[in-house]
Amino acid sequence: MKKGLGKILKTRGITLFLPIVVISCAAPAAYNAGTGQVAIRPASADLQREGAAAFKQYKLKTPISRDAAARARVFRVANKLRPVVNLPGAQWEFEVFNDPSANAFALPGGKVGVNTGLLKIATTDGQLAAVVAHEMAHVTSNHAQSRVRRSQTIAFGGAIVGAMFGGTENGEELGELAQTGGNIAFGLTFSRTQELEADQIGTVFMARAGYDPGDAITLWQRMGASQQSSTPEFLSTHPVSATRIQKLREFLPTARAQAR
């Protein structure tokens, strides 16, 4: 006899209500080329609370950098960008973590983390601004909410397939395969779209704050030179550097026109 859907969800560890996801980019375009306006999409109050709680926990578990020069750089850039990013209700908070990986992340409500390893790649304030503005763009575009909704749909689809074949020998494997296929077809592709969107919006924020958006291209050239990944782009949540650079070059005149 087939198991009920609820039991299958429980026994196979599939949940429809997933925990908050760290943003590491389908709504209308976040940038209107005709008006020059950036679409601001505040996250729900619940998601902002979850973002704040997740950031608090991360700070407890991850060493915070005590490098005065590194902290001064990040805060200097963040404080220059903050006035040009109008996100109602945002509680912006920036922190520098003692982590050698060249990475940064954002959480709903305006929580942004920068690893010290990134500062070895982003050697100028302009290059660092490209990263910080990119993460702020994830927040203003509310990419987290979209990712949560998409992940719930993918998980549910995998659970349904597993339930349909729950009485068969390969039922569980089919359900897992369906969920994996859904993630590749929808989840990862969607994430790459968000990343490219955040790249563009980030360069608009850079220009408005007085930085040269062209520094974003330099950053990704340096990032590409430092990281040689063998993962095919269609299986990656982030576009390869060559793709990002091409898209940024195409958008560069538009971003520079936003200089104030």
pLDDT of 145: 67
Hey, how many other C-beta atoms are within 10 angstroms of the C-beta on 191? Answer: 23
Residues 6+ apart with CB under 8 A from 69: none
pLDDT band for position 87 (cuts 50, 70, 90):
confident
Q: Are 106 and 131 in contact (CB under 8 A)?
A: no
> Of 43, 201, 58, which is closest to residue 110 (Cα–Cα)?
43
User: Domain ranges in the chain?
Assistant: 5-21+39-256
Q: What's the angle, vertex CA 26, arms to CA 127 and CA 42, rounded to 5?
A: 65
Q: Which residue has the higher pLDDT, 221 or 194?
A: 221
> Of 14, 97, 80, 92, which is closest to residue 51 (Cα–Cα)?
92
- Give me Rg for the CA atoms of the chain: 20
Task: Give Cα separations from 52 to 49, 93, 195 (angstroms).
Answer: 5, 9, 22
From first CA to last CA, the distance across the chain in angstroms is: 68
Q: Highest mean pLDDT: which of 89-93, 123-127, 174-178, 233-237? A: 123-127
pLDDT of 142: 82
pLDDT of 223: 87
Catalytic residue among 50, 135, 195, 197: 135
pLDDT digits (tens, 9 = 90+) for 97-117: 999 988 898 888 899 999 999
How far apart (Å, rounded) are the C-alpha atoms in residues 202 and 211?
Answer: 11
> Of 73, 61, 127, which is closest to residue 98 (Cα–Cα)?
61
Q: What are phi and psi of 29, to 5 degrees?
A: -55, 140
Q: Are 50 and 20 in contact (CB under 8 A)?
A: yes
How far apart (Å, rounded) are the C-alpha atoms in residues 106 and 143?
Answer: 10
Active site residue 195: no
pTM over 0.85: no
